[in-house]
Amino acid sequence: MVRGVAEFEVRYAETDQMGVVHHANYLVWFELARTRFCAEAGLPYPEIEARGYLMIITRAEQDYRRAARYGDRIRASCRLDWFNRRSLQFSYRIERGDELLTTGITRHIWVRRDSLRPCRLPDELHNRFEAAGA
């Protein structure tokens, strides 16, 4: 099973006055891990977009356990939970060392890039996601 992992240090701009990461930044970190997942699965975002498709987020959930702070070393990981021809769901873990900070999911639908209308994913891309293991 493919897993996308991004590691980075929390930047000052991602925090509030108390040095705690603002909740909106976790969605950005989810995206870092998701784009890494797609690249590791042989489906880099630029290639998907060049083929005329986009993944539009229809749902995002986050569960916070502990706060990330300025200067922390963070690991954001992503895996594909399920997918079909029209939609898919990813799950995420945000960790500081062995400590779990946040979990979450995003759901997406496939749309045509030119019209932004929902569509079915073509066989070639569908098969690549299938090979990535859901």
Give me the tens of pLDDT residue by residue for the chain, a chain 134 residues long: 778 999 999 999 999 989 999 999 999 999 999 999 999 988 899 999 999 999 999 999 999 999 999 999 999 999 999 999 999 999 999 999 999 999 999 999 999 999 999 999 888 888 888 888 75
Residue located via tokens 């498709």:
53
16 is catalytic: yes
What is the distance between the alpha carbons of residues 35 and 29, in angstroms, rounded to a whole number?
10
Cα 119 from chain centroid (whole Å)? 21
- Catalytic site residue from 16, 63, 81, 123: 16
Which residues fall within 8 angstroms of residue 12, CB to CB, at 6 or more apart? 70
For residue 1, the model assigns a pLDDT of 72
Structural domains counted in the chain? 1
What is the distance between the alpha carbons of residues 86 and 84, in angstroms, rounded to a whole number?
6
For residue 124, the model assigns a pLDDT of 84
Provide the whole-model pTM: 0.93
Structural domain boundaries, residue 8: 4-132
CATH of the domain at 121: 3.10.129.10
